[in-house]
């Protein structure tokens, strides 16, 4: 039995035939053109059926049309794994025993791989898991830009650069949707903080909007062909993004020709008329009526903005039913592309193959930030005793963090991964610090004494998924490490020179101790195979090849979003306050007087490395940075200038050689800068990258093509992309600050 809904539909058709009605509805035949199927189904629906289809009936589903054999829409949280089943009207887990999923690495780790192949296998595997659980909408991936390291949800996104995010998101989408599951790309748009995310009203220049914050969404729609988009909670220019006319009607549908469904974030809708007129298709809610806690009632979902209130508006003549029809069309396309596709694969769930995919992505994304004196790798034969310190060596990271929290089949912890590689007898573990203020742990003197007796020390720290760290709903309160970790790291550095600090996080953290620690690793949230992946990299079984997808600032004030006061982050109320006391006390928004936080993106287009480059600020680690256990030589950069004059495209190439002793991968990065711009532009911008794997002494040529799109900027007054003639600089290197080759070219 492939699809119960198809059987129901057949039965409905047979019944219709017995009554002398049309027995072969076009919408049931997926060999017919999609738009004919959509129009045929729509023509048979009543107003009540249309209204029912455009809002939720449970926490994660919306109704189909049983009379016509049109199935429900079933969503699942992502983007790092398939959420456990919950009760119909509750967030509480339903207690199933067959919904333990594979946890895949956080999307920051995927972005850090700088490898579209990793994105493709990620999408295929998570799409198979969603399909097996019969979900037809995966709520992800996320592509909001990393504007501030305090954003609690950065770990779900793909970094600070629009080009990197654009390239990495497309294979994910394509390969999820090959499994008959729609991606729901989120959160559209400008959802770049969790602080009062429902109430912050963003003002941003059109130039920054189009150059920084929209490109990854545009790529998701135009190249990835995403079948759905999720609106965000925040406001933009006074209008909530879940029903923002310019965002959803003018840009998404008008400029990008999006033909999928726009789905609200849960509880992100606030007005019936705007929902009708401004491009929202499907309303979901956090509570049973989408509006407030504890309202309950068997017909609570009928109180949604796009439920009975909208029906009354249509019946009274105050609203246009044709706009409802448009919403239904978009939802029908979604259903026909997924659940009602007869060629939809079966999927698979929590398999060994998926575990291997998770581990491969993790290994490709781990970033070696520093490695003085070749402290790493710790070859198993070179050590007899390793001291492992830190709560994050034994803390599960697949749970918590909000909607990305998972119920997993298993999770290999870092300490267990190390024991798998080195043997349990070589590992000594001390907690060193605790996230529980009441728990007593070892003193610094005890840690130093133990460290002095070992061949090497591995410190596992960073952040976790608690509120005010890496978590949905709250931003971080500080840039530094919590729980007194700095003092522990400094003590260990005094006791043993063979120290490596492994930071588990989805965000950059302050590292005032960086000069004292010879080896530093960014370990991300790595999913089910976290411990094995980390152990493989630390032991040298896997050569690290990840690169940072965001800037590791030396101090918070070096981030452009934090250089202009509270108007820029986190926003101010009309009275001029930030409600810091309410925020720190974690008082729910619905229990406080409604306040809109006005926020202006004062740094404009200068986000991340664009800002540090502009003001020549020295980051702890720059965008694109990541070391290897081998070394690479760049040489012989070449530009085919004739091609630019002939067709507006220029070929750029350079030779890359592995000059070390082990096989490794290098991410070769291309940056382009406009030397003669009439408007202020970044000094350089990422416009290409390639990940190449080389044996010792092996050489390859990496080639890029620069076209006019790589040279353009957005002209807000004319509302179009502009390319100016003049001289440009192309740079190729290992990071945004480690540029090995440069050459100029002219556009005339």
- Whole-prediction pTM value? 0.94
* Helix, strand, coil shares, percent, the chain, to 5: 35, 20, 45
- Of 224, 227, 105, 202, the C-alpha closest to 549 is 105
**In this predicted structure, which of 44-58, 137-151, 551-565, 569-583 has the lowest mean pLDDT?**
569-583
Sign (positive or negative) of CA dihedral 372, 376, 381, 386: positive
Cis peptide before 79 (omega within 30 of 0): yes
pLDDT greater than 70 at residue 673: yes
- The confidence band for 191, taking pLDDT boundaries of 50, 70 and 90, is very high
Domains detected in the chain: 4-89+96-337 (3.20.20.300), 358-538 (3.40.50.1700), 556-614 (no CATH), 632-747 (2.60.40.10)
114 Cβ contact list (under 8 Å, min separation 6): 164, 168, 546, 547, 549, 667, 689, 691
pLDDT value of residue 117: 98
Burial of 438 (0-12, 13-18, 19+ CB in 10 A): exposed
pLDDT-based confidence at residue 594 (cuts at 50, 70, 90): low
pLDDT in tens, 507-546: 999 999 999 999 999 999 999 999 999 999 999 999 999 9
470-511 per-position pLDDT tens digit: 999 999 999 999 999 999 999 999 999 999 999 999 999 999
Of the candidates 198, 184, 280, which has an alpha carbon nearest to the alpha carbon of residue 230?
184
Kindly report whether the peptide bond that precedes residue 377 is cis, defined as omega within 30 degrees of 0: yes
pLDDT at 647: 64
Q: What is the DSSP string of 119-159?
A: HHHHHHHHHHHHHHTT-SEEE--B------TT-TTGGGS--
Q: Exposed (0-12), middle (13-18) or buried (19+): which is 594, by Cβ within 10 Å?
A: exposed
Q: What does the alpha-carbon distance between residue 432 and residue 487 come to, in Å, rounded to a whole number?
A: 10
Reference 604, options 144, 201, 205, 162; nearest CA is 205
Residues 560, 151: Cα–Cα separation, whole Å: 14
CA distance 659 to 698: 8
The residue whose two tokens read 């520093």 is 370
Task: Quote the pLDDT of residue 643.
Answer: 61
Q: Which residue has the tokens 């589903």?
A: 61
Q: Identify the pLDDT of residue 296.
A: 52
Task: Give pLDDT, residue 589.
Answer: 46
Computed over every residue of the chain, the mean pLDDT equals 93
Gyration radius of the chain's alpha carbons: 26
Give the DSSP H or E segment for 459.
strand 456-462
* Higher pLDDT pick, 6 / 660: 660
Percent of the chain with pLDDT over 70: 92
Which residues are known catalytic residues?
A: 265
- The crossing angle, in degrees rounded to 10, of helices 485-495 and 444-452 is 30
CA-based nearest residue to 629, from 367, 361, 365, 362: 367
Annotate 221-257 with DSSP letters as a single string: HHTS--SEEEEPSSEETTEEGGG-IIIIIIIIIIIT-
Q: How far apart are CA 433 and CA 483, in angstroms?
A: 6
**Contact between residue 180 and residue 338 where contact means Cβ atoms under 8 Å apart:** yes
CB count within 10 Å of CB 139 equals 28
The mean per-residue pLDDT over the stretch 582-605 comes to 68
Q: What is residue 284's three-state secondary structure?
A: coil
pLDDT at 1: 39
The residues with which 674 forms a beta bridge, in sequence order, are: 728
């Amino acid at each position: 039995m492939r699809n119960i809904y198809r059987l129901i539909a057949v039965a409905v058709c047979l019944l219709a035939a017995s009554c002398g009605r049309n027995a072969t509805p076009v919408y049931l035949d997926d060999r017919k053109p999609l738009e004919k199927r959509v129009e045929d189904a729509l023509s048979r629906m009543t107003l009540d059926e249309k209204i029912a289809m455009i809002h939720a009936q449970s926490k994660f589903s919306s109704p189909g049309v049983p009379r016509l054999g049109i199935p429900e829409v079933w969503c699942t949280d992502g983007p790092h794994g398939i959420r456990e089943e919950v009760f119909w009207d509750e967030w509480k887990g339903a207690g199933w025993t067959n919904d333990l999923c594979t946890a895949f690495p956080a999307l920051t780790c995927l972005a850090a791989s700088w490898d579209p192949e990793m994105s493709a296998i990620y999408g295929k595997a998570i799409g198979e898991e969603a399909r097996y659980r019969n979900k037809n909408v995966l709520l992800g991936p996320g592509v909001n830009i990393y504007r501030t390291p305090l954003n609690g949800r950065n770990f779900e996104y793909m970094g600070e650069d629009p080009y990197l995010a654009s390239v990495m998101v497309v294979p994910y989408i394509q390969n999820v949707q090959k499994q008959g599951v729609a991606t729901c790309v989120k959160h559209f748009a400008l959802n770049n903080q969790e602080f009062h995310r429902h109430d912050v009203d963003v003002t941003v220049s059109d130039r920054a909007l189009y150059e920084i914050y929209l490109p990854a969404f545009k790529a998701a729609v135009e190249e990835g062909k995403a079948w759905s988009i999720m609106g965000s909670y925040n406001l933009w220019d006074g209008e909530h993004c879940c029903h923002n006319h310019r965002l959803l009607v003018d840009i998404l549908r008008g400029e990008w020709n999006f033909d999928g469904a726009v789905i609200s974030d849960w509880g992100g809708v606030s007005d019936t008329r705007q929902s009708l007129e401004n491009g929202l298709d499907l309303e979901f809610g956090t509570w049973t009526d989408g509006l407030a806690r504890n309202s309950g009632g068997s017909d609570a979902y009928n109180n949604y903005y796009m439920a009975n209130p909208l029906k009354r508006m249509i019946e009274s003549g105050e609203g246009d039913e044709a706009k409802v029809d448009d919403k239904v069309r978009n939802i029908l396309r979604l259903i026909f592309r997924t659940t009602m596709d007869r060629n939809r694969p079966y999927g698979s769930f929590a398999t060994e193959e998926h575990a291997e995919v998770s581990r491969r992505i993790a290994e490709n994304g781990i970033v070696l930030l520093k490695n003085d004196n070749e402290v790493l790798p710790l070859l198993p034969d070179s050590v007899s005793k390793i001291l492992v310190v830190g709560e994050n060596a034994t803390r599960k990271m697949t749970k918590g963090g909000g909607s990305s929290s998972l119920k997993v089949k298993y999770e290999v912890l870092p300490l267990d991964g190390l024991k798998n590689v080195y043997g349990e007898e070589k590992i000594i573990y001390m907690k060193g610090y605790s996230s529980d203020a009441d728990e007593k742990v070892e003193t610094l003197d005890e840690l130093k004494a133990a460290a002095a007796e070992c061949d090497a020390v591995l410190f596992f720290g960073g952040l976790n998924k608690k509120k005010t760290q890496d978590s949905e709903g709250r931003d971080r309160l500080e840039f530094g490490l919590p729980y007194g970790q700095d003092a522990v790291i400094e003590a260990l550095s005094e006791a043993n020179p063979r120290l490596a600090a492994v930071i588990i996080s989805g965000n950059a953290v302050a590292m005032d101790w960086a000069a004292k620690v010879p080896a530093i690793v960014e370990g991300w949230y790595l999913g089910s195979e976290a411990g094995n992946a980390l152990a493989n990299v630390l032991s040298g079984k896997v050569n690290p090849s990840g690169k940072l997808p965001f800037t590791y600032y030396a101090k918070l004030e070096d981030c452009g979003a934090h250089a202009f006061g509270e108007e820029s982050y986190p926003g101010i109320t009309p009275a001029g306050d930030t409600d810091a006391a309410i925020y720190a006390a974690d008082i729910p928004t619905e229990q406080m007087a409604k306040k809109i936080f006005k926020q202006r993106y004062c740094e404009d287009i200068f986000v991340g490395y664009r800002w540090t480059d502009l003001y020549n600020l020295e980051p702890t680690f720059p965008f694109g940075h990541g070391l290897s256990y081998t070394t690479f030589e760049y040489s012989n950069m070449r530009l085919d200038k004739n091609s630019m004059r002939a067709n507006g495209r220029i070929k750029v190439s350079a030779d890359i050689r592995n000059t070390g002793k082990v096989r490794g991968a290098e991410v070769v990065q291309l940056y382009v800068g406009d030397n003669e711009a009439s408007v202020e532009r970044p000094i350089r911008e990422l416009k290409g990258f390639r990940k190449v794997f080389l044996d010792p002494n092996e050489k390859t040529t990496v080639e890029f093509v620069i076209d006019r799109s790589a040279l353009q900027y957005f002209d807000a007054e004319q509302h179009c992309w502009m390319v100016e003639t003049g001289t440009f600089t192309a740079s190729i290197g290992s990071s945004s600050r480690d540029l090995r080759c440069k050459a100029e070219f002219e556009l005339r």
